Structures are given as C-alpha cells and as structure tokens.
A and B are shown apart, each in its own frame.
Chain A
Amino acid sequence: MVGYFAKYNWIVPVGLMGLSFIFFQLCYPYHLFLKEQIQLFLYTPDYFLSYFKKPAWMASYVGDFLTQFFYLRGGGAMVLASLFGVEWLLGTVVIKRIAGVANAGLWASFPVLADWILHCDTLHGVSVSVGFILVMSLFLIYSLTAKKWLSYLVLVIFTVSGYWLAGGAFLIFPFLVVAYDFSQQKSSWLKGLLVFATVFSIPVMWRHHYLLTQIHSFIFPAFNKQSLFLPVALLGSVTCAFLLKKLELTHTKMIGIGVSFSLFVVLATGLKANANFNFEKILSLDYETYLGIPERVVGLAKKYQLKNKQASYFTNMALARQGVLPEYLLHFYQPFSLGLILPVTPNENWQSIFVSNEVFFLMGDMNLAQHSAMLGNTFSPYQRSSRMMRRLAEINLVNEDSAAANKYLRILSKTQFHKKWAQSRLAINHSPNTVRWLAEKRTQLPRTDRLIKSNDYLAALSFLVEQNPGNLIALDYLLCYHLLNKDLKSFRNVYDQYAHSVNRPVPAVYGEALLIGLFTSRASSAEALVYAIRPEKLKDFTDYTELYEKTAGDSNALKERFGRSYWFYYHFATIQKK
C-alpha cells in the first residue's frame, strides 16, 4: 500500500482531516450532538439482529456504532475526520488502480469533500459513509485478486451480497468493475452486463421484502437522494482522472493546481449551500437546554439575536428557569405566542416536534410532555432516540410510574454513554424523596383531572395555574401567552387572580401591560397604586405616550428608547406570513 502513496504529498489527507475536524469541532458541533440524540445504540444481540430487517446491515450497524461517540465533545468531529481519512486513502487507491494517474490523491479528495458537505445535514448518517467505504473496500479486494478464477468468485459473492452489506452506495460497484476491467484491457461485455443487471435488480427485487419505496431502496440507508452525491463524486473523480490521464503526463503541475482550485471551489460552494449555520445556532440553544444550563442559553441568545421561533422557544425557557421571563421577554424576538410553545401538528417538521416536550416538562404538564416525547421519538428518523428515552424515563419518574420509567432506564442501561445516567435514575426509584428536582417536579402535578385537546395550550396553561398557583413558570407562561397575543383583558384577569399576590417586584413587561390596561380603563391613582408598579415605569409610560402622539405613531422614533417595551410591541408587532 505504501507504494501507492510514496510519491504523494501527505499534506492533502492530513489537511483534509485536520480542516474537517476543526470545522465540525468548532463551527458545527451541535449538528453532531443532534445526530447522536436521534440514535440509540444498544449492546444487545437483539439490537444487532434488528439490522438484518433492512439492507445495508453492516454499514448501518457500524455507522450507528460510530454515531454513539458523537455524544462526547470532540467525538463526532474525530469520527468524521477519521472516516474522511479512510475514504481518501481508499479513494486514492481506487483511482490509482483504475486511472493510474499521479494526482490520484487530489482526485480522491472530491468524494471526501462531498461527504463533508453532506454531513452538514442532520439526516446524512455515518452509515452512508461507512457503506461507501465498504463498497470501495469490496472493489479493491476484487481488483487486487490476482487469480482469474478467484476474482470471478469474489465478483459473484460481492455482486450478490454487496447491497445487503452496504446498501445504495453499492450501485457504483459495477461502474468501478467495468472501468477497472476496461483500464486493464480485459473487459467483457457479458460480465459487465451481468454485474450491472444483478446489482441494479437486487434493490428492485428485494424492496418488498424490506418494505421500502422504490427510491428509498436505491438510496438506503440514506434518507435523502442528495446522499448519492458521495458515490457519484467518486465516479466523477475516476472518470475525470481517466480522461485527463494523458494530459497529466505532460501537465502534471497544471492539472494539480486546477484540481486543487476545484476542490477549494467545491468545498466553499458546497458548505455555503448545505451548511446551515443558523440552524447550528438554534441547535446550540437546544443543546444547552438539554444539558440544563439556562445561563448559557441566555448568553448565546444575546449573542446571536436570532429571529426564529425555535430560538425564542429555547430562550424563553431559559428565562423562565431563571425566573426572569416577564422581565426580559421583549429583549428577544417574539413571534407572538409561537415562541412560547412549539405546536405538535402534522405540519411541523420533525426537529420541532423533537424538542417540543421541553416546555411541558419545564412547566410540569407531564401528559403533554409525554405525548410530545413519544411523537418526538416516533417522528425522529430512526424512531429510537436516546434523548427521548431519557425524557420519557424522567416523565415517568415524576409521575411515580416506576414500571414505565424502569423500562426506559433498562434500555438506556444497555448503551455505552447513557448507562451511567440511567443507573443513577434507577437508584432514584429507591429513595425518590431525597432527589430535589424530582420532589420539585412532583409538586407541579395537577391534583384533579380534566380533558385538554392536544393543541389547546391556553387550556393546558390555565389548568396548571388553577391547580397550582405557586407554579411560577406556568403562571409566567400563561401571562406571557396572553400578552404576546395582545389579549390584555385575559392577562389582567389572570394577573389579578394569581400574579398580584406573588411576592416579587412587578416585572417590567407586566408593569407596562398593566399601565395600558389602567390607562384605557381610566383607572384612578389609587387603583394604580395597588399594583405597585415601579415609578420609573410610570414616567416612561408618560414619555412614550407623549412621543407617540407627537410623532403620530412613528415606530422609528420610538424604537430606540422603547423598542423593548410592551407598549411598542402592543402598537407595532404584527404577524408576517411567509
């Protein structure tokens, strides 16, 4: 093998691996964390056998095995960089074997870059990369088999079993075989035809056994057709290297520079098109929420200032956990009440459904949390999510349903990285009252029953507050829900009934909303005094009113000083439909 690379500059693979590691570790780590959260890798024989229900069992099993390391900080970047290194190594040998070019190492970088770019998508799994590596390995075994009869035997075995082992990536195998045979001047049309026919007919013939749609049978284990770019990039590299072979003999340097430049352009344009850095920011908020660090969520939200309902959702939860939601609500983008609770409907994407349980768990509505977590698990791409499993275990611990909690915890005990967490929770069952978070959560539970429609969040919030007026998080969510929907009447009713007696200074947003209500109802000073609104708020309100009248409601004139006030929101916030 060394002979293949002795001439090459090791800068290319080391550079690719290093750059990709830096990219995924520093610029894109949260996508990789999510990839682990939507997976669950168990060390049980049953789990292993479950992979045989679909094609690409080896690619899928190894891919999922590697994905579990994405749980570790740096683990995902390390795994991907290593995979890219292996892809480059094998790709170089494949190109060298077929095209016999000097710049094989550069050409082999194209599929690596394609995989790098594809991994920016949460649905592009490691199993696709492993499948690709498997296919290249199978081809190299075939091409390195010297004895003719043995190479035929190898070809037959691989042709029949390749799809079963590696999935859709195996469709490039016949192209590689034909190209290799052609380059060795031993091509046989019959052999090529048979290999092509067999490889392409296997997905069609077996798709009903595997219960896959036609398209899915050709791309499995990938979810998206764009994952095909990976094997196609190798074919493209082989073809180009082959076609430019003669030119390369005389213009080696020029070809090298041209290919290097193309690599740079491909990477730059590919990342621009496929890397979603905005979503990465949202995922960072999500991840810190998952870890339970609200200060970090608020810090990141301040830094990013995203105008996105999911970003608002995580920020609002973090503010609520810190007890300052009504103080800083309007310091962040608020798309009416959509940033408070993410709806769980068929129109929502799976990522939104996946995280929708967080707020219900925070507020203490365990049934809606369970509903969302169940759907989060079933709608996630693999229908087995470590994160949802953890949440379902927690929900059932809070509900004192130890049989159900133990089910999830026992499953998690069979993983590598969630085992410790599960065992600590299993121990809770023996002494639940000593665990503070659990005791606190249980105080939030309603004592009576009521039926609530799945998306009637107002009814759910109202019921939580009715049942437990001391549940400040639910109370703040209910009040903010009314305020963000500009329903001042309902806000005032809830405020008077539950929030007025809460022992805390009147939060900024509540004070501002109360002033509007008092002003419009022409309340007396004595009535206003009851609410103990901060004096500076009264002065601000007077100033706002004067400026508003003076500028005839010019939002630009008001924005600088009052842009974060409820008065400004009340006057100027509108729903913009996309």
Chain B
Amino acid sequence: MNRYFIVVIVFLLLSFQACRETVAPKEVRKEKPAIFPDYVDVTVPATIAPLNFKVQDEYSAIDAVIEGRNQEVIHIQDKKEICIPENKWAQLLANSKGDSLRITVSIKKQGNWIRFAPFAVHVSDVPIDYGLVYRLIAPGYEVYSKMGIYQRNLSSFDQSPIVENTLIPGSCVNCHSFRLSDPKNMNLHIRGKKGGTVLMTDGKINLLNTKTDETISNFIYPFWHPSGNYVAYSVNNIHQVFHAAKTKRVEVVDGASDIVVYDIKNNQPISCAELMNDSIFETFPSFSPDGRSLYFCSAAHREMPQEFNKVQYNLCRIAFNPENGTFGGQIDTLFNATAINKSVTFPRPSPDGRYLMFTLIDYGNFSIWHKEADLYLLDLQTGLCRSMDEANSRDTESYHSWSSNSRWFVFSSRRIDGLYTRPFIASIDEKGNIGKPFLLPQANTGFYTNLMESFNIPEFVTGKVEVDPNEIEKMIVGDKVSQVGKLKMQ
C-alpha cells in the first residue's frame, strides 16, 4: 500500500514538473514588461516579502526567471501570475545584498511566447524595520463602521489586527503613533460614546480622557518626543465638507486648532501662547530627533469653510526644553509655503536629524484628497528643499513615515486608482538620493484590486506590537479612563 502511495506521489510530482513548458520565444521585445505592481528597477531591502506580480496584458501563461548573485535562479511558470516561493526568495535576497536581481519575463499569447527585456530589482544592504502599522478604512469619510489598525510583517505576508472596532461597536480607531518606531510605546485614539486615547508606555497601557476645559478638543494628531516623556498633539475643531467639482471629493477643515505637549509623567498637557494663538491655525506637531525643537504647521486664521482655499500652512519651529517642559519664545519659519502659494502638511524629521519630509499642496491641510499633493524633502543642514520626484506621481502622495535608521520611508499614494491609498516604500541614502518606490508586496496580485479599504497612516515599527485587545476592551467598556490634568500655560 505504502509503496503504491509513494509511486503515485512521485508520479504526480513529476507530472507537475513536466507541466512547465520550455520557453522558446517567437518574439523578443526590447522594452521591459509593464507589470503590476510595478517592481521594474525598484530598490528593496533584503528582507522584503516576495514581489509577486503579473504582466498587464492578456496571456495564457507567464514565465519568470529570477537570477541572483552566484547564479542562483528561481524559475516560475503559471497561467495567471508570478508567485515566488517565500523561502527561496528570502535566500536569494540574502545572498544578493548590495547587488541586483535580474528578472526575465515571458508571456504566452496565442500559442507563442514573447520575451521582454530583463529588468532589475536592486537589493539594498541597508536593513529595514520589522514591519508597518496602518489603519484600513473605507476612503476618506466620517465612518464609524468597520475599521481597524493592523500590523504587517515586511518579511512575509502576515497581517494581524492590533485593534478592530468590531470589538467596541460604534467606535472609531485612529491616529496610531510610535516613539521612534518602538512597538512598546504607542498612541492611538478610540472615539465614540465610550473611548479615549490609548497610551502605551513601555508596554503598559493607559486610557486617557484628553478633553480639558482649556483646550478646544480631545488630543488629535500625535507625535512622540524621542525621550518618551512627552507626546505633542494638535487639538482641532474639525469639519468635513464636500467639493462640488468632479475632480475633487472631500475636504476636512479646521475651524480652530492649537498645539499642546502632553507630559506623560505629570499627566498634564502644557503649551504656550505661541502655540495657542487664536489668529493662527497650528497643527501637525513633530519633535526633532534631539527633542529640542517642535516642528509644526501654521496658517493665518480664515473664515471656514468660506475661505477654505485661502488657508495655507507654513512649516515652523519652536524651541522645546525637555528637561523642564518649556518652550522658546520665538517661532521660526523653516519653509515659507505661502510665498509660493502652497501649503505644508505632515512635517516628519528623519530620525538622524538630517532631513525633514513634508507634503505640499495648494491649500488647506487635508492633503490625502488633494491630487496635487507631493512629497518634499528639506535638508536641515543646508536648508535646501526639493520635490521628491522619484517618489511622486500625478496623483496624491500624502502621509509618510521614516524607518528608524532613516534609510527607508513609507508613504501613502493614490496613484493606482485615484481613490484608495496604498503604501509605497522607497530607499533614501545619506545624500538624499531616492530609489524607485515599490508597492507593499502582497501574496497575490489581485489583493489591491479587490480591497475596498484604504491604507491609512502607514508607520514603521521595529518589532511586533504586543497588545492585548482584551485589556483595551476592558478599559473602554469598564470606563477605566484617566482624566488628563489641567492645561499648564507657559
């Protein structure tokens, strides 16, 4: 019995092997293939999950030969798409660090094979963080239906939820943020009838009610101080409005906004007159890596929503003393966007302190729905600023986050279908040279086509976020919320 079984298995395996055709191309094209996702000539980290792809054409079979260093080869043939075995891929990448893979793709059309010019995938020897954390949500609207914050291991296709609002019905989860990509120090908000700000410090979770009499709202857009002792937040009076023009969709505007810094040890928000100016909209705070500067966006107050397209934010900085939690008395303008009739959002300094990346749009602060939104890079040493053309597209590029070693960044873009944001990752070297970005790989190429949710706020993490949903649920349901202290004004 066993002998027959083995014979059958061997026969089946040989049959499968025999199914692979020999590719004898009748036509050899000079151009590289148009593939989805576009991995042609991209730069990837050596630990990235397999870059599965398909050719954007009709065909009855597809063949790919992936050659690495030391003549290592992976050969795949399929009817639909190229799905690379994870183990072989990981080995190939590990052995090709600092070199390039050469990928030759052929497709079979009307019985004949067509071979395309080979393309390269550059394998960087600079490591990337463990994974990404993002929210999956239907695009852009005030939704309290199903959503969740998920983490994804970049070396595999494993995605697991950190929190889903199915656990706390009627809630909205948003604004996850980490201290220097550390998974043990995390902020996220849970909004709804029951909710609060979940603040995890060194793995310990607290639930905070962040509304005070002195601030106009709960804490909203967060950014951790590198010491882990403070988190900067904006407080915003937010309104959602809709465009009438078909090329635009939705706008979120602030009726008022300020910035506070939450002192975790003393459970107290602190601020100063310069960050709580009624004639100014202040938002999107972020600390410099040395923790001594607070960057933020600042715009002159306008009547909203009537003057929505006249609100333009500059990139500003104010000194911060982490020893005693005090602010400098002067605001510097680092990038005068209004002078070029533009507006800055999401200032994010690289952890090495060399660069600051931001999004530039025509007006307002809701860059995610602005087709003109592009990424810009400000060299904090030279003061030079440039558009990151290597990463930008004709559609929206908006939220972005640096890896902990400052050599990779992830950003959300609507370039695929103009409607759903997808995460792209790109390399950046010490001189600011940027590699061609690549779409976060998925196990099958139809993943993004079928997904009805946007990837929102992609953030790097250096390890898996270990959160017990039970603990969060108990705190929310049991109303175990701590009230933050009274605002301390400098």
Question: B166–A211 contact, CB under 8 A?
Answer: yes
Q: Which of A459-513 contact B (CB under 8 A)?
A: 460, 463, 467
| B residues less than 8 Å from A410 (CB atoms) | 449
A224 CB to nearest B CB, Å: 13
User: How far apart sit A219 and B372, CA to CA, in the bound complex (Å)?
Assistant: 47
Residue pairs across A and B with CB atoms within 8 Å: the count is 129
A576 within 8 A of B: no
Residue of A with least CB distance to B168: A213
Question: B141–A452 contact, CB under 8 A?
Answer: no
Task: Give which listed residue, B167, B244, B245, contacts A213 with CB less than 8 A.
Answer: B167
Residue of A with least CB distance to B241: A451
User: How far apart sit A114 and B414, CA to CA, in the bound complex (Å)?
Assistant: 48
A212-B167, A451-B251, A453-B305 known; A366-B246 Cβ under 8 A: yes
| A residues less than 8 Å from B420 (CB atoms) | 407
B253 CB to nearest A CB, Å: 8
| B residues less than 8 Å from A384 (CB atoms) | 452
Task: Give which listed residue, A212, A374, A411, contacts B450 with CB less than 8 A.
Answer: A411
User: How far apart sit A282 and B469, CA to CA, in the bound complex (Å)?
Assistant: 41
Residue of A with least CB distance to B477: A213
Mask of B138-154 contacts with A, CB within 8 angstroms, 1/0: 11111111101000000
B456 CB to nearest A CB, Å: 14
B341 CB to nearest A CB, Å: 17
A178 within 8 A of B: no
| A residues less than 8 Å from B305 (CB atoms) | 451, 453
Question: A211–B148 contact, CB under 8 A?
Answer: yes
| B residues less than 8 Å from A216 (CB atoms) | 166
Residue of B with least CB distance to A368: B242
Question: B243–A449 contact, CB under 8 A?
Answer: yes
Question: B469–A374 contact, CB under 8 A?
Answer: no
| A residues less than 8 Å from B145 (CB atoms) | 375, 378-379, 383
B90 within 8 A of A: no
Question: Which of B139, B166, B308, B452 lies at the interface centre, i.e. has the most chain A CB atoms within 10 A of its CB?
Answer: B452
A46 within 8 A of B: yes
Question: A454–B419 contact, CB under 8 A?
Answer: no
Mask of B431-459 contacts with A, CB within 8 angstroms, 1/0: 00000000000001011011010000000
Residue of B with least CB distance to A453: B241
A211-B167, A213-B166, A378-B145 known; A449-B245 Cβ under 8 A: yes
Residue of A with least CB distance to B245: A449
Question: A374–B246 contact, CB under 8 A?
Answer: no
A429 CB to nearest B CB, Å: 13
A375-B141, A401-B418, A403-B417 known; A448-B244 Cβ under 8 A: yes
Residue of A with least CB distance to B470: A208
| A residues less than 8 Å from B167 (CB atoms) | 208, 211-213
Question: Which of A346, A410, A451, A460 lies at the interface centre, i.e. has the most chain B CB atoms within 10 A of its CB?
Answer: A451
| A residues less than 8 Å from B166 (CB atoms) | 211-213, 216
B20 within 8 A of A: no
- By the criterion of a CB under 8 Å from any partner CB, how many residues of chain B are at the interface? 48
User: How far apart sit A366 and B419, CA to CA, in the bound complex (Å)?
Assistant: 14
- By the criterion of a CB under 8 Å from any partner CB, how many residues of chain A are at the interface? 48
Q: Which of A426-469 contact B (CB under 8 A)?
A: 445-446, 448-454, 460, 463, 467
User: How far apart sit A401 and B169, CA to CA, in the bound complex (Å)?
Assistant: 34
Question: B417–A371 contact, CB under 8 A?
Answer: no
Question: A452–B449 contact, CB under 8 A?
Answer: no
| B residues less than 8 Å from A47 (CB atoms) | 450
User: How far apart sit A403 and B142, CA to CA, in the bound complex (Å)?
Assistant: 24
Mask of B390-420 contacts with A, CB within 8 angstroms, 1/0: 0000000000000000000000000011111
A523 within 8 A of B: no
| A residues less than 8 Å from B308 (CB atoms) | 451
User: How far apart sit A378 and B308, CA to CA, in the bound complex (Å)?
Assistant: 28
A45 within 8 A of B: yes
Question: Which of A377, A407, A411 lies at the interface centre, i.e. has the most chain B CB atoms within 10 A of its CB?
Answer: A407
| A residues less than 8 Å from B449 (CB atoms) | 407, 410-411
Mask of B153-190 contacts with A, CB within 8 angstroms, 1/0: 00000000101101111000000000000000000000
| A residues less than 8 Å from B419 (CB atoms) | 396, 401, 403-404, 407
Residue of B with least CB distance to A366: B246
Mask of A132-162 contacts with B, CB within 8 angstroms, 1/0: 0000000000000000000000000000000
| A residues less than 8 Å from B161 (CB atoms) | 211
| B residues less than 8 Å from A346 (CB atoms) | 144
| B residues less than 8 Å from A375 (CB atoms) | 138, 141, 143, 145
Question: A452–B244 contact, CB under 8 A?
Answer: yes
Q: Which of B233-251 contact A (CB under 8 A)?
A: 239-251
A337 within 8 A of B: no
Residue of B with least CB distance to A411: B450
User: How far apart sit A341 and B45, CA to CA, in the bound complex (Å)?
Assistant: 52
| A residues less than 8 Å from B241 (CB atoms) | 451-454
User: How far apart sit A371 and B252, CA to CA, in the bound complex (Å)?
Assistant: 14
| A residues less than 8 Å from B163 (CB atoms) | 211
Question: A46–B446 contact, CB under 8 A?
Answer: yes
Question: A378–B146 contact, CB under 8 A?
Answer: yes
Question: A365–B450 contact, CB under 8 A?
Answer: no
Residue of A with least CB distance to B140: A374
| B residues less than 8 Å from A406 (CB atoms) | 417
A252 CB to nearest B CB, Å: 50
Residue of A with least CB distance to B137: A378
User: How far apart sit A399 and B247, CA to CA, in the bound complex (Å)?
Assistant: 8
Q: Which of B369-383 contact A (CB under 8 A)?
A: none
Residue of B with least CB distance to A449: B245
A367 within 8 A of B: yes
| A residues less than 8 Å from B418 (CB atoms) | 401, 403-404
User: How far apart sit A445 and B248, CA to CA, in the bound complex (Å)?
Assistant: 12
User: How far apart sit A346 and B171, CA to CA, in the bound complex (Å)?
Assistant: 12
Residue of B with least CB distance to A380: B145
A44 within 8 A of B: yes
Question: A374–B138 contact, CB under 8 A?
Answer: yes
Mask of A531-562 contacts with B, CB within 8 angstroms, 1/0: 00000000000000000000000000000000
- A sample of 15 cross-chain residue pairs with beta-carbon separation below 8 angstroms, ordered by A number, consists of A208-B470, A367-B242, A367-B246, A371-B242, A375-B138, A375-B141, A378-B141, A379-B145, A384-B452, A396-B419, A404-B417, A407-B419, A414-B450, A449-B245, A452-B243
Which B residues have a C-beta under 8 Å from some C-beta of A? 138-146, 148, 161, 163-164, 166-169, 239-251, 253, 305, 308, 416-420, 444, 446-447, 449-450, 452, 468-470, 473
Which 8 interchain pairs have the tightest Cβ spacing? A449-B245, A378-B145, A211-B164, A404-B419, A451-B241, A399-B246, A403-B417, A378-B138
Which A residues have a C-beta under 8 Å from some C-beta of B? 42, 44-47, 208, 211-213, 216, 346, 365-368, 370-371, 374-375, 377-379, 383-384, 396, 398-401, 403-404, 406-407, 410-411, 414, 445-446, 448-454, 460, 463, 467
Known: A449-B244, A449-B245, A451-B244. 4 other contacts (CB 8 A): A216-B166, A377-B452, A453-B305, A460-B244
